[in-house]
Amino acid sequence: MRIDLHAVANSRTTERKSSADVPLDAGLPARPSSSSSAEAGSRFPASDAPLANDLVESAPSLPEGRRGAVISLLTGLMADGERMDRYIASLKTAIDDRGTESASIDRFHRFHEAQTTISQITAEGFSRLDDERLAALAVSPRALKALYEHLEAPETLSGDWLMDAMMAAHGDRPELRKLDEHAKATIARLSQEGATGD
């Protein structure tokens, strides 16, 4: 599946689907809505604004010694739409405060391998990206929104990293625990069926 970063970023009609809009088999709940993260005792920092400021200041490089923090940030953003919205607002403020044209900072879409990078992220998460791509993605509102929309699409098959991130973000929610238990039971059943040849 090809993702048009420009189309997603420039579309004013693109909105994340609410959990009620995404039907799942067996009556299971949809991906947790972001609005419940604060209610469920979110494990995320109260604000990602300081890291957004550091990233804008150090662009086009990662802030020294902050690679792990950036990977953790990006992973968490993909699991929590409300956190993503707050981060993007902080990022835009940091860019405006710096007096920099956002086009000079937002350069992720300029990578010739942007589509390959998105495919790699979908499968494996962010840890294998080089520092240049991590830095470019972390300061690109357009790319972050496009990636979030891509990962949220029902037809996207992401790696285990996304479910792990969702469990970290929303693990206190009963419907997510039910979804996780159902997935584990299904995997066990399919593994058993495969072992017995049924």
pLDDT category at 35 given cuts 50, 70, 90 is very low
Distance, in Å, from the CA atom of 182 to the CA atom of 180, rounded to the nearest integer, reads 5
Query: Cβ of 135: how many Cβ atoms within 10 Å?
Result: 24
Angstrom CA distances, 192 to 170, 179, 184, 186, stand at: 29, 20, 12, 10
In tens, the pLDDT along 38-60 reads 333 334 456 899 999 999 999 88
Taking the domains of the chain in order of start, what are their residue ranges? Answer: 43-196
Q: What distance in Å separates the CA atoms of residue 113 and residue 172, rounded to the nearest whole number? A: 37
Tell me if 3 sits within 8 A of 152, measured CB to CB.
Answer: no
CA–CA separation, 36 vs 43, rounded Å? 12
Provide Rg for the chain, Cα atoms.
Answer: 18
pLDDT tens-digit map of 5-15: 334 333 333 33
